[in-house]
Structure 1
């Protein structure tokens, strides 16, 4: 760093505690102005907490934050924004019913008074054009692609002439082409003098964009910022996880950390019996439009016993509707659904579960678990769903069965009467796995099963899905992480606007899959 200018942002001995949990521990770090900095680490390393402290959203237990060499009042967003720090969250916060012009206006300081939509569009068009964002300012946010929504979030953050822009996991919901566009935009921001801090967890992405790299592990800074040229992928792997992936195969390790795959490298090929009847078949399925996502349009697919079929796609392209349709939570307008040879198109949720359907839902803390209910009550849903509503419930028996199941799945807990909300993310997901992956499972739908989990918990989920596949269950894996899909899927289907836009087999080509995700091409069974 130059001796003549203070760091754009610095944290000094920052510690953040939540009760007995230490999210950050004595973190001191300086970011030179005018560069692209990456903060790298696995889930749970403290990256998001760091970003929230730097942007004023979290009051540290101890320590201070300096912007341009001046200490600011911590825990106050207004003070951080006035000092020139802006944060774009991983989960977008744009009001879906607002137009582009409206969200720009309401994100700006000092907005108010009467306005017309035309006047707002004229006001904000130059700002968006200066950032090379081409969009109709009269369009509503909910009608825009994810990549465009993210670019508008960045444009809103830059309304205040930000000096430091922090992007928290900005690539998590983007296609490969979307990531390229994001990185090009970040490079242009650097050229304008903005200091950009990217919170990431994929080594491939970090090496592709960053000037400097810092690594957090277990809430501590273990490296950086250091120039990208001084850190190899192997060194970064050791810094991020220590010994946590030594037991994993090289293929799994590379997928867990997002390491660039050597060109032409052939992954392990799992053998699937193509003569077996599918465990799941959708024929020309279309759904009625609802508020939960893009409707399905003429979707046909199948999954055989002993096969993992991955579903790729930019979020919001029908993945949730697909799961809802298979579970009988979304109304069909045409088509048929077959489970293990049974036509279940008109069957109830309970009937489909009795036919062997199991679901690991998208949101484990919303759809998968009742956080205020006990572990045994959450686990017992499997018993209640498969029995009569008039059946006698024996709590003592269910608790005993629950304890046996949770212990066999390696769940760390004290007693089965404790609330599900008291568990870590990895252990909460294990409770859902213990409930859903049983001997009677014929089709397991795993929807974003590793989102938010650390590397160890992710590896456990992969191992569990593979074991279920090897026992003969069919797996439908929905994920926004292409590394995950490529690592454990036997085939990958791409969804775009509620349709199947491509089908791919090993060895996977990320560029071809990415092109199908954005509609640049459509492919079937590329090799």
Structure 2
């Protein structure tokens, strides 16, 4: 029996260990019913682990979870759902081939029987409309914009009349306009009596929506829930990172933490080499249907030596295909690609790497590293890709060079023979940087290079990209984090449905860039 005066959700002395790693340490926290709560902290602080414990996905090593004063069985999703807790993950779980109506039915309690598609759509239409979600229920999930997919995830979570809705990093894949829409929907859920817990890492977003704020750092509760009234960005910064960003410039600090700040021009006081040929030139490039997202449609783009060009856009709008096309992994149906003055349209990846192409891939643990291979084998992969391992090379010499490189990049490791999977996310990314950023790099593609990294590791990556740019390399930076793009890019190109939707130079206006990301208005600062 529920206690109406009890917290909607409470964790008591919760600890979660994965082997020698402690993800949460003795966390006790209460969330008052009927409010919007934010759990704030940098990547690796334990936010997602906390959400998964509350939703029954993780069995804590010690501690308990209470819903409305009743202790529930931990590590049991069904028990948590029956108690009224629902979690919407950062990575969407809707089957992409299902229609909207089928996705709503999938996993709904008490489902069964036979439905025509029309009857299934009729069954769920009122539920979606009641949440102000206007969508064609016969459309397939993969055909929908990211914002719509997320709204359907939330609608499906609310089928059980959830009392507590947890959204894990819900803004990570949204445009600025999409974030505003999400927050308006969250406010309406609060008005209906739903307790909403938002897992976030950007101070600007937290201050814009939350009633209370709690901060995790290093798996521990530092503070909270605190009423938002009176809290400042400076105070929250100190709670989130302590002294970790004191060495950063104010501009970098604000970008790292997502603090509302007018964006300056990152290229101010610097000159870009306009004498040398562009490191990358794409002329009217289109691709055939690609497995990784939207095909490219008449894309023209250039990156000059000594320049960082950022690629913005809601995920799934051709960013992965862009990288694959430059790397010769996506077939072109039209157009040409030039690297450092060489036409490489018909060249292989190996030939393009010989011409100076380097890639920091989207998924470091899938595309970037072989987790079950040694560090020296991962590091030496660049030689293999460029064909030079056909020469007789002593493994001992490769290990020596690898050690020298990894140490110069500040990688924390025991021996170059250890598996890459034993490293932290930040150190794993440093191994990739050590391999890809060398003296012969002409064009470096950095695809989501800081995703999942803590503030210190993120700052390290930014410093490395800027240093490579200042040595004359061209950088193509793909990121879903506008603060990151605005902070270190000399230009920002927006992609929408496989096309270039706008090009901007600093000082950047988040509303203009955001409008280009969703095709709301023409880009106003084209160059």
**TM-score bucket (shorter structure):** over 0.9
Partner of 1:24: 24
**1:193 to 2:193 alignment:** yes
Change (3 A) 1:343 1:111: same
Partner of 1:367: 367
Partner of 1:164: 164
**1:436 to 2:436 alignment:** yes
Partner of 1:492: 492
Partner of 1:254: 254
CA contact (8 A) 1:448 1:479 kept: yes
Partner of 1:392: 392
Residue 388 (structure 1) shift: 4.7
How many angstroms apart in 1 are the aligned matches of 2:163 and 2:496? Answer: 37
CA contact (8 A) 2:266 2:489 kept: no
Residue 130 (structure 1) shift: 0.3
Residue 260 (structure 1) shift: 0.2
Partner of 1:297: 297
Residues 161-203 of structure 1, C-alpha deviation per residue, up to 9 Å, x if partnerless? 0000000000000000000000000000000000000000000
Map residues 122-521 of structure 1 onto 2, 5 A cutoff: 122-262=122-262, 269=268, 270-388=270-388, 390-521=390-521
CA contact (8 A) 2:287 2:334 kept: yes
RMSD over aligned CA atoms reads: 1.2
Aligned residues: 524
Residue 509 (structure 1) shift: 0.1
TM-score, with structure 1 as normaliser: 0.98
Partner of 1:83: 83
Partner of 1:60: 60
How many angstroms apart in 1 are the aligned matches of 2:358 and 2:303? Answer: 14
How many angstroms apart in 1 are the aligned matches of 2:267 and 2:499? Answer: 29
Partner of 1:116: 116
How many angstroms apart in 1 are the aligned matches of 2:264 and 2:5? Answer: 46
Residue 387 (structure 1) shift: 2.4
For the residue of structure 1 that corresponds to 2:172, the secondary structure is coil
Residue 272 (structure 1) shift: 1.6
Map residues 38-77 of structure 1 onto 2, 5 A cutoff: 38-77=38-77
Change (3 A) 1:4 1:390: closer
How many angstroms apart in 1 are the aligned matches of 2:408 and 2:390? Answer: 30
How many angstroms apart in 2 are the aligned matches of 1:450 and 1:141? Answer: 28
For the residue of structure 1 that corresponds to 2:229, the secondary structure is helix
Residue 271 (structure 1) shift: 2.6
CA contact (8 A) 2:294 2:317 kept: yes
Residue 389 (structure 1) shift: 6.1
Residues 268-320 of structure 1, C-alpha deviation per residue, up to 9 Å, x if partnerless? 62432334321100000000012211000000010000000000000000000
How many angstroms apart in 2 are the aligned matches of 1:277 and 1:290? Answer: 29
Residue 440 (structure 1) shift: 0.2
Q: 265-274 or 437-446, which moves further after superposition? A: 265-274
For structure 2, list consecutive stretches of 5 or more residues without a partner in the other structure. none
